[in-house]
Each structure stands twice: as C-alpha cells, then as structure tokens.
Structure 1
Amino acid sequence: MAKTQLNVRVDEDTARAARERALERGMSVNRYIEELVRQDTGEAGHTFVEAAADFMKQYESVFVEEFGAAREGRGEDSAGHRSEGRH
C-alpha cells in the first residue's frame, strides 16, 4: 500500500505518551498511530470478528460436544430452553 505523509501537531505530553507507548509495544510512533486509527475505524474489530468466526467454525464440533452435553444434563435444548416436564 502506498504511504502518504501526514503531519500533525500535538502537545508535548501527548507526543511523549505516544513515544512511550510505541516503545513499550516495540514499534515506531508512526506504526503506533496507524494502529490506533485502524482500531478507531473498525478494521481491527472486523479482523477480530472474522478470526473468531473462523475459530468457531473450526472447533464447532468440540463446542457442541462440550457444551451441548452440559445443556442436555440440565434438561435444556440447543437454544438453552428448559425441556418440558423438567422444571
């Protein structure tokens, strides 16, 4: 992806905080700011949701086996509703 230079002015405390946080994360201030903007615009959230959905698909049978059995033991159907006659 092509890069565009963006110049911003912030107070010294904000600049110091950005430098410190970037250093703590082992990245440049530029990369840190890029990630903050991506998070704010939802890219990170969207990526997380996609990864979580893929994970759930991959391990669906394990979840059904583990949690489906627990529901049945409590007299619940797959939607979590109590079975008739077992109140």
Structure 2
Amino acid sequence: MAKTQLNVRVDEGTARAARERALARGISVNRYIEELVRQDTGEAGRAFVEAAADFMKQYESVFAEEFGRDTEGTREGRR
C-alpha cells in the first residue's frame, strides 16, 4: 500500500508520550500512530468481538453450568 505523509502538531508532552510508548513496544512512532488509528477505526475492535463471541460460544455450557441459565433479556426470556 502506498504511504501518504501526514504532518500533525501536538504538545511536547504528547510527543514525548508517543515516543516513549513506541520505544517501549519496539516500534517506530509512525507505526505506533498507525496502530492507534486502526484501533480507533474498529479494525482491532472487530477482531476482539469476533474472538470473544467464539470464546463464549465454545464455553457456553461451562458458563451455564457454573452460573445457571438466566435468559432474561434474551429472546427466550422475552416470550
């Protein structure tokens, strides 16, 4: 994918924090900012929700056994 240069102005504290966080993660400030924007636009959020849904489906019987089947608020509970 082609890259586009984007210039932004932030206060020194924000710039310092971005540099420190990027350094701690072992990535460039550019990549750190790219990842933040991707997260904010939902790419990471969608992946998390899909993984959580798969987890819940896989362990539904375990949760039901441990905590009971409370269907209030679900389709079954609204009937």
TM over 0.5: yes
Query: Within the alignment, does 1:35 sit opposite 2:35 as a pair?
Result: yes
Greater relative contact order, per chain length (Cα 8 Å cut-off, separation 6+):
2
Cα RMSD for the two superposed structures: 2.0
Alpha-carbon deviations, 1:7-54, whole Å to 9, x = none? Answer: 313246133221111112222212211111011111121111111101
- For structure 1, the residue ranges without an aligned partner over 5 or more in a row are 69-76, 81-87
Distance, in Å, in 1 between the alignment partners of 2:66 and 2:26 is 39
Q: What is the one-letter code of the residue matched to 1:7?
A: L
Alpha-carbon deviations, 1:55-87, whole Å to 9, x = none? Answer: 11111111111111xxxxxxxx6325xxxxxxx
TM-score, normalisation: structure 1:
0.66
Q: Please identify which structure carries the higher helix content.
A: 2
Q: Which runs of 4+ in 1 moved over 4 A?
A: none
Bigger Rg over Cα: 1
- Give the percent of matched residue pairs that are identical in Structure 1 and Structure 2: 70
Partner in structure 1 of residue 70 of structure 2: 78
Partner in structure 2 of residue 6 of structure 1: 5
Once the two structures are TM-superposed, the CA of residue 6 in structure 1 deviates from its matched residue by 1.9
SS where residue 79 of structure 1 aligns? Answer: coil
Partner in structure 1 of residue 16 of structure 2: 16
| Length, aligned pairs only | 71
